[in-house]
Each structure stands twice: as structure tokens, then as C-alpha cells.
């Protein structure tokens, strides 16, 4: 008896229970049917649970033979229980390598054997065609029956075909190419061109204020990772300085960045003064002060001589003002809070005009050429972002007006202005795309799901399913949820969703982890079960990966258990100073593997394999099997394959080498998918830092059956590696000396005009230096 | 305890005869309800006419001012004289008798709900 039936019963007889006859009289004065009803009503939950517990035990015994042999395996206790629990809504939280697919095959086998439904009343949904095909094959092999196993898109297509009486035509438009073409066409119009120029100059990179960082090192990592440089190629000390520099440049105002002040100010205690900007044509100086409206400074600014950072910094501001006043030089001041409020450049223009600075703005063509040469990456990124944005918008069943509605809710400030600017760029491209689809009477993958859901809600899809089983539920998007919900609600189908929130890695494609974590909020009362025995990897790896993923409190806690004997260790951090050394190490470790082992080389990006290739290690693309294989000549017996961490989902190998453990934009964690405009389409942003990348790293770690090697460039270690080192007390033999100032750079030996010294690897952002000894 | 005993004895002295009447009324109400209990036990879906006949049989009991006033008995001393279980019995009888048709529907609802739940718990689903 499921909870739904209990609820229906309660609801049906609520009126009786609420009547004074039932509630106002003591039990010994009641008529016996009334008394019995009252007791039933008050204890129906317990009665149902007791009954279900008995049912579970009876069914376990009755179907023992069936559960003892599903795909040649005997199901474990948790697998059996989750199959038997026949609630209206079930969520099975399954660990990596816990036999999820076998459990689904077992569920289907049981339902058919028991006669709970016929084969054509069962629908199994999977996310990729490959996994759907595999699932269908395995179910057929086990039950001898053909059931509907399909992807969400195939289901959408079938719904549309049935309702419209014809198969829908799916567009062949490559969205990224379409965006590129449209962008180039639109750029020929002065209005759009002006929007693009403004966006690229002011908003192309996601703005983060120095106030957003806890340490100087984190701020440097952001500046380096986001490639914060000016159009003239200067490395500047903040995002805001980059904006100012570029604004001056495109307005034809010549400037020198951090040139020495025209008066010698050095004394025994302080060095020469270097103002941020000097405009040689007018002799104007610009200082950009990193303060908020209350003259506070970022947390990582340091105090000295018993004074707080705020006092020291503001004393510096006063000194600079006085210096300019004493020497009769003109100083323009700008502030961090102006950028946060979105008024920095407008205010700067006012101040420059008041100081008599002449503007000679570049023409759009010149700026376009400049951007194309200097900001090719930014233009390409913006185009990619627009394609992702449109895809995501459709995956969420939203239109451009919905997005504008979300923006209207944002508080005034830089994020809102940036979002508005972005939507002005993407809006016309989205509209052109929709028009093109209408013209050709085609639909895209997003439409396939959204339109199908509409038809089901409208009651136009006749076929009904008694059971809907969803594999990899952690990757569910709002649109897909809507489709399942429509079918479920129309048919009162039972839903059995299986997944692992620890492996939810497709947020960029629209998957919404809230639909998993808050399942009950979306579906109502849910029976939650766990499958926690992993048959893939040893305990040490379970401990490492579980501790790593559970750093994020929002992930659902589960206690993964392993099988087999104890293994001392199942992972190792392999260090190298550079790519060459790491390539050498990879060969050494490959050379030591047992004969005929399977090996997965995992990257965060496809290009991560490149540094690990040479004459002996060669990449080959196997077109038949769509696989990237790697041949290592001295060990031809090894089956080596390369995959990205995303592509490795669902795969496993004896040995795994995670190749990219770098910091920076294209490192692991990657900083690329974090663009805030995508947040307009996604549900509440996860507050935990790198939550999605952490799950992706977890997926990478858990692909190994025997051992994981983490290839670590000692000079560019990722935060994940630093965390693992810290948590597990791993120390490298030759530890680099950390810079005492920014705390993230390493001290490296350099030679200057006064001889050798230690400088920081974050130079020029960090100017710390110290004697060699 | 001592004072409560004195107050109870005083109440008994004041309302003694009334207390005796209430005890008799309670017995009559209990008998009427037992009769209804038997009807429902014998014939759970008994027609309204069966219920009406029961009502008519106990019309004089229901007309007794002690029954009609019982639901509003709120004087402390009276409460002390008539045990709460007795008051509940009288009140239930008064309620059932006053609205037999609706009470029959409620009892039928209870019987249906009990049966349905039993079936749900016994079913294979």
C-alpha cells in the first residue's frame, strides 16, 4: 500500500473525522464503528508501514529466486528493498558503481513477473541514446520482452508525432555556427555594433570586485585565470583598472600605466610613487582607489605598525592627494564602489571633461578591428556563451521575456547592467533562430520536450503508462521534469527515479540539482531508498571520494560501502615541475601496470591530452567506436582510452590517470562555466564554491576499479589538490616555498640589477621579494 | 482533599435528588445507545427508516429536560455531582437523537472507511 493511497483515504474521510460526533466524544461513549474509524484514522500511517514491512518480507521470500539472479548477479539487500517498495513516487539514491542499471533491470523483471503491469505499460527513460539502447538490450535479455526504453527526446518526438499525425522535423542548425553567423551579420548595423563594443569593453568578463576575495592570492588567481589585461596588453591589478584603461584607449586618450610620478618622492622609508594612470597630453593623473562608500578596503589588504588595513590605505589616499596638491598636479580619483554601482565609466567621463581632457573616440570599425585582434577570445567566448544561453533557455522552457523578467528582479548594480547588456546582444539572435525554425517548420531538441509536455498536459497524448522509471535522475532539467510530471499526473503512473546527486554534472546543459535534492517538494510524498554498496572501487578510494564530495553540505549523505578485501591505498598524487616531467612520470607509471590492464586518461577538457603525447604515446581516434584511444608503444597490451570527465560518466577502467589538476581558467576546477548570466536561467545558484566542478571531480575519481593517479603540476596545483593534500596529510618531498604576501604564489629565484633574489611567481601582480637566504 | 470532600458532600446535599435523576437518565441513554449499537452491528447499512424508528422509540427520553439541558450543564457543583462519563453518554444520545439523519451518514461513512482501509491493507498492491 503506497503513501498515495493512504493520502487518498485520509482525504476522502476527512469530513467524517472532522465531525463533532467523532472528535468531541470520549472513546467509551462512542458507537463502535465510529470508535474504530477514529483509531484507524489516527494510526493509518503506522498501519500502512507495518503492513508494508510484512509485505516486504513476504515478497522477498516469494521472489527470492528472481532476485538471486538478475543479469547473473544476486541483488543485495538494499537493491531488493528499493525494487519492492512500490510507492507512487520513489527516489533511489545510488552510489557510483552500485549496480544502478542492474537494479533497474531487476525492477522491470519483478514488475513483469508479478503482473503489476504489462510490458507496454512500462516506460524507462534515460538521458543518452547509448544508455537507452544498452538498457533496452539488457532488459530484453533478462525478461525476453520489448519495453519502451527511450531518451526524453525520443519520447518527446513520439508524443508530437502522435498528436500532430506526422513526425516532427528536427533542425540541423548548429546553434554555435548560427550564433556566429548572425553575430557577424548584426555587427554590420551601427546599433548592434555599438552594443557589442560596449559589452566587450565593460562586461565581456564576469566582474568580481576585490571585495569578493578573502586573500590576495585568490584575487590574483582570479585576475590570472580570467586573463584580466588591457586592450594594449598590460597586466593590471584589478578588473576595474582594466575597464579604465580600455575606456581611455577607445576614447583616444593616451595613457601610461603605473609610470613613475613626475616628482621624485622616494625617501629612506618609501620607494618612488607610481600613480595608476598618467595622461601625458594633459598631465592628468588617475588613481583608482579600492574602497567602498564607507572607505572600507578589501579583507585581504594588510595593516601594519599596529594600524588596520583601512587606516593604512586611507592614509595612503591622503598622502597621494597631498602630494598632488603640493606639486600642483591634477589628480582624478575613481573608486571601487562606482563600479559596483555601475557608474564608474560615466563618472570618469565627467571627471575627465572637467579636467579638460579631450576625447577622440575611435570609430566603430577601428574598435571592431581592435577587438577582433586583441579580444578574439572574448568575442568567441561571448558567442559561445550566447549559444549556451539559448540552448539553456530552451532546455528550461523559457523565452527572452522570461529572462527579462528575472533581470528586472535583480538589484541595481553591475550584475544587472551586465545581464541587461548581454540580453540586448542575445535577444535578436534568439529571435532570428526562432524565426528560422518557424520558417522551415522545424523544431530543436528543446522544443521537442517542451511541446510534448504541453500536448500531454492538454490530454492530447493517448498512450498511458503505469510505471515510469527514470535513470540518471540527477541530470534532470526543468523541462524534462515537466514532461515526466505531465505523464505521471495524467495517468497516475508510479514514478521510480534512480540517480546519484554526487554525480550531477550537467548544470551547464540545464540540469537542476534542486529537482533531486528537493524531490519531495516537486513530487510530494516520496519513498527514498539507498543503494550504497559499490562494486567498483576499494575502500580507500571510497573514503577519499566521499570525504571530498561531502565537503558540500547540500549533497545527500550516504555511507558507501565496498566489497572485497582491504586495499592499503588506491590513489597517489604524482608530481612534476612541468608538462615534460609529468609526461615522463605517466610513462613510468604506465610501465608498471599489470599486463592487459584497462586505463582511462581523464581530462577536464579535450585539449588536456596534448601535453601527454609524444612519439611513444600516440593518440588515435577510433571512428567505429567513437573513442579516443592512446597507444603506448612499450605497453601495447594496455587498453588506454582518453575521455573528458564529463564523457567518462558511466565508464570505468582498472587504472585512472586524472591529467588536469591545474589551477586557472582551464584547470580543474574550471572557471569557465561560471558565467553569471547563465544564472538567470538556472535555479538558485549553489552557494558552495565549485559545487558542480567538485561533483565532476568526484565522477573522475570514481571511474577507477583499482587505482587513481592524480598528475600534479607542482607549480600550478589546483585548489582540489591542495585540499586533498591538506586533508590527507600528503607532503611532497620538494615543497615549494609559498610567498608570505599573497600566499598562493611560490617563491622563485630571480636575478635583478642588485643580484639574485626570491620573487613571487604571481609577479607582476604580486611584487613581494626577499633575499635568497 | 479534605475540603474537596466537604464541597462534594455539600453539592450532594444540595443537588442530591437531581443527581439521582441524572444517574437514571444516564442508564436510559446508555440503553438507547446500546440498542443503536446493536442495530448498526446487525445491519451496518440500516435504512434511515430503521434509525427513525429508534429515534421515535426514545422520543420521551430525549424530551426529558435533564437530557436537553445536559449539554449546557456548566455549573461547577453540578459537574461534580454528575461524572463526566455520564455527561458524555447523555450528550451523545442527545446529539444522535437530535440529528439522526446526519449521524447515520457519519456512521455509514465510518463503516465505509473502515472497510476500505481493511481492503487496502489486505490488497497485494
The pLDDT of residue A518: 93
Query: What distance in Å separates residue B79's CA from the closest CA in chain A?
Result: 16
In degrees and rounded to multiples of 5, residue A642 shows phi and psi of: -110, 135
Mean pLDDT of A389-412: 89
Alpha helices in A115-227 (DSSP H): 129-143, 152-164, 175-186, 190-202, 216-225
Confidence of residue A179 (pLDDT cuts 50, 70, 90): very high
Distance of alpha carbon A327 from the chain centroid: 53
Query: What distance in Å separates residue B89's CA from the closest CA in chain A?
Result: 6
The pLDDT of residue A572: 94
Residue indicated by cell numbers 590570472: A224
* ipTM here: 0.81
Confidence of residue A487 (pLDDT cuts 50, 70, 90): very high
More confident residue, B26 or A147: A147
Are the beta carbons of A32 and B37 separated by less than 8 Å?
Answer: yes
CB A297 within 8 A of CB A309: yes
Are the beta carbons of A30 and B113 separated by less than 8 Å?
Answer: no
More confident residue, A2 or B60: B60
Are the beta carbons of A30 and B92 separated by less than 8 Å?
Answer: yes
Burial A745-771 (b: 16+ CB within 10 A, else e): bbbeeeeeeeeeebbbbbbebbebeee
Mean pLDDT of A118-139: 94
A228: nearest Cα among A718, A680, A671, A717: A671
Are the beta carbons of A34 and B107 separated by less than 8 Å?
Answer: yes
pTM of the model: 0.74
**In this complex, is the C-beta atom of B32 within 8 Å of any C-beta atom belonging to chain A?**
no
B85: nearest Cα among A25, A169, A168, A484: A25
The tens digit of pLDDT for each residue in A198-243 reads: 887 778 777 777 888 877 777 777 777 666 788 888 888 888 999 9
The pLDDT of residue A511: 87
CB A570 within 8 A of CB A540: yes
Give percent of chain A above pLDDT 70: 95
Contacts of A57 (CB under 8 A, 6+ apart): none
Q: Which of A6, A21, A44 to mutate to test the interface with B (most CBs of B within 10 A)?
A: A21
Q: Which of B109, B118, B122, B123 to mutate to test the interface with A (most CBs of A within 10 A)?
A: B109
Q: What residues of A are in contact with residue B89 (Cβ under 8 Å)?
A: 29
Are the beta carbons of A37 and B37 separated by less than 8 Å?
Answer: no
Task: Give the three cell numbers for residue A94.
Answer: 545510488
Nearest-by-CA chain A residue for B37 = A31
Distance of alpha carbon A419 from the chain centroid: 19
Residue A58 has pLDDT above 80, yes or no: yes
**In this complex, is the C-beta atom of B30 within 8 Å of any C-beta atom belonging to chain A?**
no
More confident residue, A58 or A679: A58
Mean pLDDT of A694-701: 96
Confidence of residue A566 (pLDDT cuts 50, 70, 90): low
The tens digit of pLDDT for each residue in A517-541 reads: 999 999 888 889 999 999 888 888 8
The pLDDT of residue A586: 96
Contacts of A350 (CB under 8 A, 6+ apart): none
Q: Which of A288-302, A750-764, B32-46, B100-114 has the lowest mean pLDDT?
A: A750-764
The pLDDT of residue A375: 64
Mean pLDDT of A291-315: 86
Q: Which of A2, A3, A4, A33 to mutate to test the interface with B (most CBs of B within 10 A)?
A: A33
| B85 vs A12, A28, A31: nearest CB | A28
Q: What residues of B are in contact with residue A32 (Cβ under 8 Å)?
A: 37, 40-41
Residue A509 has pLDDT above 90, yes or no: no
Residue A425 has pLDDT above 90, yes or no: yes
Average pLDDT taken over every residue of chain A: 89
Q: How far is CA A120 from CA A47, A149, A496, A628, in A?
A: 33, 11, 16, 38
In degrees and rounded to multiples of 5, residue A350 shows phi and psi of: -60, -50
Mean pLDDT of A350-366: 90
Are the beta carbons of A37 and B89 separated by less than 8 Å?
Answer: no
The tens digit of pLDDT for each residue in B61-115 reads: 988 877 776 655 545 555 666 777 777 888 888 888 988 999 999 999 999 999 9
| A25 vs B41, B88, B117: nearest CB | B88
Q: What residues of A are in contact with residue B120 (Cβ under 8 Å)?
A: 1, 5-6, 9
Mean pLDDT of A361-378: 74
Residue A682 has pLDDT above 70, yes or no: yes
Are the beta carbons of A20 and B110 separated by less than 8 Å?
Answer: no
The pLDDT of residue A729: 83
Mean pLDDT of A744-766: 78
Query: What distance in Å separates residue B35's CA from the closest CA in chain A?
Result: 10
The pLDDT of residue B78: 57
Are the beta carbons of A9 and B88 separated by less than 8 Å?
Answer: no
Give percent of chain A above pLDDT 90: 60
| B116 vs A9, A33, A36: nearest CB | A9
Query: What distance in Å separates residue A117's CA from the closest CA in chain B?
Result: 11
Beta strands A494-499 and A467-470, pairing class? parallel
| B117 vs A30, A32, A40: nearest CB | A40
Q: How many beta-carbon pairs under 8 angstroms link A with B?
A: 80
**In this complex, is the C-beta atom of B88 within 8 Å of any C-beta atom belonging to chain A?**
yes
Are the beta carbons of B106 and A19 separated by less than 8 Å?
Answer: yes
More confident residue, A650 or A517: A517
Are the beta carbons of A29 and B88 separated by less than 8 Å?
Answer: yes
Residue indicated by cell numbers 613581494: A768
Query: What distance in Å separates residue A33's CA from the closest CA in chain B?
Result: 6
Are the beta carbons of B106 and A47 separated by less than 8 Å?
Answer: no
**In this complex, is the C-beta atom of B103 within 8 Å of any C-beta atom belonging to chain A?**
yes
Q: What residues of B are in contact with residue A5 (Cβ under 8 Å)?
A: 120, 125
Mean pLDDT of A353-382: 80
Contacts of B51 (CB under 8 A, 6+ apart): B36, B39, B100, B101, B104
Are the beta carbons of A44 and B117 separated by less than 8 Å?
Answer: yes
Task: Give the three cell numbers for residue A612.
Answer: 601527454
The pLDDT of residue A645: 96
The tens digit of pLDDT for each residue in A465-484 reads: 999 999 999 999 999 999 99
Mean pLDDT of A328-345: 92
Q: What residues of A are in contact with residue B86 (Cβ under 8 Å)?
A: none
**For residue A290, how many C-alpha atoms fall within 13 Å in the half-sphere facing its CB?**
22
Mean pLDDT of A562-590: 87
Confidence of residue A657 (pLDDT cuts 50, 70, 90): very high
Q: Which of A98-102, A518-522, A652-656, B24-28 has the lowest mean pLDDT?
A: B24-28
Task: Give the three cell numbers for residue A162.
Answer: 502522435
Amino acid at each position: 500500500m503506497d503513501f498515495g493511497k493512504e493520502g487518498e483515504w485520509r482525504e476522502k474521510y476527512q469530513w467524517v473525522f472532522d465531525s463533532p460526533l467523532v472528535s468531541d466524544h470520549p472513546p467509551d461513549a462512542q458507537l463502535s464503528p465510529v470508535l474504530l474509524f477514529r483509531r484507524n484514522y489516527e494510526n493509518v500511517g503506522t498501519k500502512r508501514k507495518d503492513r508494508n514491512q510484512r509485505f516486504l518480507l513476504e515478497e522477498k521470500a516469494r521472489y527470492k529466486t528472481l532476485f538471486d539472479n538478475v543479469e547473473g548477479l544476486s541483488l543485495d539487500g538494499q537493491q531488493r528493498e528499493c525494487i519492492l517498495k512500490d510507492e507512487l513516487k520513489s527516489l533511489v539514491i545510488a552510489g557510483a558503481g552500485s549496480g544502478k542499471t542492474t537494479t533497474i533491470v531487476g525492477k522491470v523483471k519483478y514488475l513483469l513477473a508479478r503482473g503489476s503491469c504489462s510490458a507496454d505499460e512500462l516506460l524507462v527513460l534515460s538521458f543518452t541514446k547509448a544508455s537507452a539502447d544498452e538498457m533496452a538490450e539488457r532488459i530484453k535479455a533478462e525478461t525476453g520482452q520489448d519495453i519502451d526504453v527511450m531518451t526524453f527526446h525520443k519520447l518527446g518526438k513520439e508524443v508530437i508525432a502522435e498528436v500532430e499525425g506526422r513526425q516532427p522535423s528536427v533542425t540541423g542548425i548548429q546553434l554555435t555556427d548560427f550564433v556566429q553567423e548572425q553575430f557577424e551579420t548584426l555587427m554590420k548595423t551601427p546599433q548592434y555594433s555599438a552594443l557589442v563594443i560596449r559589452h566587450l569593453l565593460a562586461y565581456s568578463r564576469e566582474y568580481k570586485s576585490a571585495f569578493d576575495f578573502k586573500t590576495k592570492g585568490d584575487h590574483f588567481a582570479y585576475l590570472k585565470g580570467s586573463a584580466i589585461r588591457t586592450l594594449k596588453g598590460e597586466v593590471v591589478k584589478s578588473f576595474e583598472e582594466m575597464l579604465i584603461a580600455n575606456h581611455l584607449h577607445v576614447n583616444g586618450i593616451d595613457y601610461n600605466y603605473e609610470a613613475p610620478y613626475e616628482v621624485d618622492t622616494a625617501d629612506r622609508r618609501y620607494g618612488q610613487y607610481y600613480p595608476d594612470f598618467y595622461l601625458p597630453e594633459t598631465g592628468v593623473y588617475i588613481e583608482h582607489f579600492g574602497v567602498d562608500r564607507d572607505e572600507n578596503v578589501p579583507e585581504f589588504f594588510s595593516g601594519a605598525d599596529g594600524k588596520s588595513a583601512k587606516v593604512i590605505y586611507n592614509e595612503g589616499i591622503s598622502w597621494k592627494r597631498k602630494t598632488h596638491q603640493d606639486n600642483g598636479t591634477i589628480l582624478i580619483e575613481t573608486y571601487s564602489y562606482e563600479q559596483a554601482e555601475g557608474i564608474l565609466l560615466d563618472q570618469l567621463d565627467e571627471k575627465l571633461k572637467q579636467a579638460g581632457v579631450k576625447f577622440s573616440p575611435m570609430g566603430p570599425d577601428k574598435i571592431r578591428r581592435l577587438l577582433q585582434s586583441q579580444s578574439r577570445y572574448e568575442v568567441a567566448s561571448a558567442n559561445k556563451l550566447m549559444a549556451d544561453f539559448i540552448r539553456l533557455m530552451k532546455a528550461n522552457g523559457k523565452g527572452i521575456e522570461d529572462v527579462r523578467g528575472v533581470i528586472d528582479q535583480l538589484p541595481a548594480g553591475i550584475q544587472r547592467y551586465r545581464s541587461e547588456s548581454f540580453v540586448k546582444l542575445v535577444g535578436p539572435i534568439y529571435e532570428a533562430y526562432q524565426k528560422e525554425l518557424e520558417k522551415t517548420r522545424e523544431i530543436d531538441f528543446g522544443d521537442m520536450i517542451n511541446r510534448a509536455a504541453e500536448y500531454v498536459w492538454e490530454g492530447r497524448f493517448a498512450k498511458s503508462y503505469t510505471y515510469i522509471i527514470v535513470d540518471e535522475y540527477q541530470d534532470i532539467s526543468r523541462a524534462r521534469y515537466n514532461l515526466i510530471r505531465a505523464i505521471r499526473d495524467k495517468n497516475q503512473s508510479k514514478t521510480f527515479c534512480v540517480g546519484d546527486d554526487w554525480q550531477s554534472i550537467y548544470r551547464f546543459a540545464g540540469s537542476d540539482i534542486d529537482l533531486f535534492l528537493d524531490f519531495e517538494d516537486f513530487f510530494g510524498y516520496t519513498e527514498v531508498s539507498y543503494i550504497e554498496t559499490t562494486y567498483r572501487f576499494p575502500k580507500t578510494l571510497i573514503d577519499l571520494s566521499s570525504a571530498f564530495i561531502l565537503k558540500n553540505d547540500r549533497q545527500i549523505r550516504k555511507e558507501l560501502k565496498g566489497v572485497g578485501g582491504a586495499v592499503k591505498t588506491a590513489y597517489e598524487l604524482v608530481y612534476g615541475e612541468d608538462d615534460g616531467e609529468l609526461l615522463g612520470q605517466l610513462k613510468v607509471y604506465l610501465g608498471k601496470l599489470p599486463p592487459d590492464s584497462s586505463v582511462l586518461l581523464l581530462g577536464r577538457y579535450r585539449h588536456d591530452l596534448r601535453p601527454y603525447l609524444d612519439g611513444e604515446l600516440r593518440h588515435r581516434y577510433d571512428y567505429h567506436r567513437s573513442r579516443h584511444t592512446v597507444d603506448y608503444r612499450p605497453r601495447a597490451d594496455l587498453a588506454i582510452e582518453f575521455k573528458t570527465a564529463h564523457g567518462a560518466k558511466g565508464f570505468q577502467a582498472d587504472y585512472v590517470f586524472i591529467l588536469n589538476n591545474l589551477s586557472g581558467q582551464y584547470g580543474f576546477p574550471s572557471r569557465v562555466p561560471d558565467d553569471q548570466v547563465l544564472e538567470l536561467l538556472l535555479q538558485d545558484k549553489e552557494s558552495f564554491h565549485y559545487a558542480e566542478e567538485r561533483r565532476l571531480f568526484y565522477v573522475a575519481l570514481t571511474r577507477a576499479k583499482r587505482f587513481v593517479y592524480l598528475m600534479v603540476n607542482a607549480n600550478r596545483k589546483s585548489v582540489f589538490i591542495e585540499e586533498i593534500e591538506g586533508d590527507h596529510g600528503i607532503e611532497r618531498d620538494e615543497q615549494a616555498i609559498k610567498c608570505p604576501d599573497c600566499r598562493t604564489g611560490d617563491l622563485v629565484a630571480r636575478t635583478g640589477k642588485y643580484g639574485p633574489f626570491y620573487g613571487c611567481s604571481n609577479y607582476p601582480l604580486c611584487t613581494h621579494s626577499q633575499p635568497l637566504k | 482533599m479534605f475540603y474537596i470532600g466537604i464541597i462534594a458532600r455539600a453539592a450532594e446535599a444540595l443537588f442530591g435528588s437531581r443527581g439521582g435523576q441524572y444517574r437514571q437518565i444516564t442508564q436510559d441513554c446508555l440503553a438507547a445507545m446500546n440498542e443503536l449499537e446493536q442495530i448498526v452491528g446487525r445491519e451496518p447499512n440500516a435504512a434511515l427508516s430503521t434509525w427513525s424508528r429508534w429515534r421515535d422509540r426514545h422520543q420521551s427520553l430525549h424530551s426529558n429536560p435533564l437530557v436537553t439541558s445536559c449539554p449546557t450543564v456548566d455549573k461547577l457543583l453540578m459537574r461534580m455531582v454528575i461524572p463526566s462519563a455520564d455527561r458524555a453518554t447523555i450528550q451523545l444520545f442527545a446529539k444522535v437523537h437530535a440529528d439522526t439523519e446526519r449521524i447515520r451518514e457519519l456512521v455509514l461513512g465510518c463503516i465505509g472507511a473502515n472497510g476500505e482501509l481493511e481492503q487496502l491493507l489486505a490488497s497485494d498492491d
